Amino acid sequence: MFNTSISGLNGAQKYLDTTSNNIANANSYGFKRSRAEFADIYCNSVFTNSKTATGMGVTNTTVAQQFKQGSLSGDTGNNLDMAIQGNGFFVLSQDQNDNSLTTNSARTYTRNGAFEINPDGYLVTAMGDYVQGYEIDDAANVTNLDILSTHAIHIPTNTGAPKQTTKLTMDVNLPANADSLSTAENGYSMAKFDHTDSSTYTASTTQTIHDSLGGVHQVQYYYVKDHVNDGSANPLGGNYTNDGNTVWNVLMYVDGNPVDLADVGGGVNGQPLEYTVTNAASSDVGKTFYGMQLTFGTDGKLIADGQIPSAIAFTNPNGTYQAAAGRDDYTLVNAMGGGVSDAQDIGIKLNYTQYGSSKFSVSNISNDGYSTGVLENVSVTEDGILQASYTNGRSVNITKIAMANFNNPQGLIKVGDTQWKESIDSGDVMPCEANTGIAGSIKGANLELSNVELATELVDLIIAQRYYQANSQALQTQNTAMDSIMNIR
């Protein structure tokens, strides 16, 4: 009889221990509360009457973890903090070397996404375990969805070698209602062009480019509305046609120095147009520019009349488009100031419109070059894509955070530090991606709080205490009854 009460005391102690552990971890990120589960002990045999047999106490069958979703902390201000909204787990390893991870047992799993970067640039937990990621392609798609293919995540502090610009694009709208600068009274517009005097051109804009060393330079675009084909007098002689088309001239500078344009797509006779400044008042007097001419129809779109280069490029001494004779002072390398590659090719694709309802505007600006940048920020998307931003304006997809799931999470083995390991009871680990299936999404700058509800645990604490007291009273009663029997004379 004493054994029955002792088993009850042991059960009460287990209940109390489990509840106390839940309360102790109420502030542990990603912690999952446990529940002590019990069953009665009942022995019977062919020689006993089951109708009159009494139980022999209680036994603790399991301490079952409850993987209910915990609340999210809200914005922590740290982009490396991650919370899972769903059933998945983050994948961890104690080893940074991928080659040594040859079995799934080398991985542990956690819901605690309080991550940081260690001195070697790896994403780790507070205990130093390495967060695992999947290899991804340029489109951020996972190339091998396998737990054994995961690797420690290294975040480079810089973007490596710089990349020289090879391609520029820009969408430009030129204002149709702007005044023409070529008139019978004022003469030919380009004769007075002065890049330091905004009254001699209609509009201008700039775009950043990078040289072979990662140096930053500025391209200046100057747009001059020459005339409208309205049949009026042409300062160069005769009259314009009367088709309503509008003609613009375009010149380019780099860092304040004129650069010749080479016609890649077939302008007039395969060459860019020449513009010579003759007005003595201009700071550019005596200069001849190799630029381009644009003709817009009455619908505001470019007219393919042979005067519109479909693509243009800067000239460079050893580039694809070399300088014309005597024009070495107007090459890209000369404008940049020397000391960089004189073979750099920059193709320029500009999409032009001319709408009267719109002002001068530019959009969709792109430059495929970049300088060396220093790590500025790291963030994660809901799909688990870890992105690094650098001071040179580049954003790089580093990896996709590896996630895992199990058929029976309650069968996972607890190993401490809010981590679990795979077991026979849990079933084989299933590799997952964030935002796919039941794994759940990842919320950056958030943490999953413990799913312990203190009010419930305090009630359980009272029950455990009463449970213990009741079993103690039963033991004491049995002891008193035994004393009475022993004192019979």
Check residue 51 and give its pLDDT: 67
Domain ranges of the chain: 2-67+468-486, 82-157+378-444, 167-367
Q: Where are the beta strands (DSSP E) in 28-67?
A: 34-40, 58-65
Q: Kindly indicate the confidence band of residue 268, based on its pLDDT and cuts at 50, 70 and 90.
A: very low
Task: Kindly state the average pLDDT of the residues 131-148.
Answer: 94
CA 46, 48, 53, 54 torsion-angle sign: negative
CATH number assigned to the domain with residue range 167-367, chosen from the 4 options 3.40.50.300, 2.60.98.20, 1.10.287.10, 1.10.940.10: 2.60.98.20
Each residue's pLDDT tens digit, 179-225: 999 988 888 999 999 999 999 999 999 999 999 999 999 999 999 99
Q: Which of 75-79, 155-159, 304-308, 311-315 has the highest mean pLDDT?
A: 75-79
For 461, how many CA atoms within 13 A lie in the half-sphere containing its CB?
Answer: 12
Task: Kindly state the average pLDDT of the residues 264-269.
Answer: 48
Each residue's pLDDT tens digit, 335-384: 999 889 999 999 888 888 998 877 899 999 999 999 988 889 999 999 99
Q: Kindly indicate the confidence band of residue 98, based on its pLDDT and cuts at 50, 70 and 90.
A: low
Check residue 57 and give its pLDDT: 81
Each residue's pLDDT tens digit, 454-479: 999 999 888 888 888 887 887 777 77
Which candidate, 261, 284, 296, places its Cα nearest to that of 178? 296
Alpha carbons 313 and 335: distance in angstroms, whole number: 14
Check residue 15 and give its pLDDT: 86
Alpha carbons 476 and 2: distance in angstroms, whole number: 9
CA distances (Å), 455 to each of 16, 30, 243, 460, in order? 15, 19, 84, 9
Residue 310 has pLDDT above 60, yes or no: no
Task: Kindly state the average pLDDT of the residues 425-449.
Answer: 94
Check residue 44 and give its pLDDT: 64
Higher-confidence position of 72 and 56:
72
Each residue's pLDDT tens digit, 406-417: 999 999 999 999
Check residue 236 and give its pLDDT: 87
Higher-confidence position of 232 and 44:
232
pTM of the predicted model as reported, rounded to 2 decimal places = 0.70
CA distances (Å), 463 to each of 16, 66, 175, 197, 456, in order? 9, 19, 81, 88, 11
Token pair 């009741």 is found at 470
Check residue 99 and give its pLDDT: 47
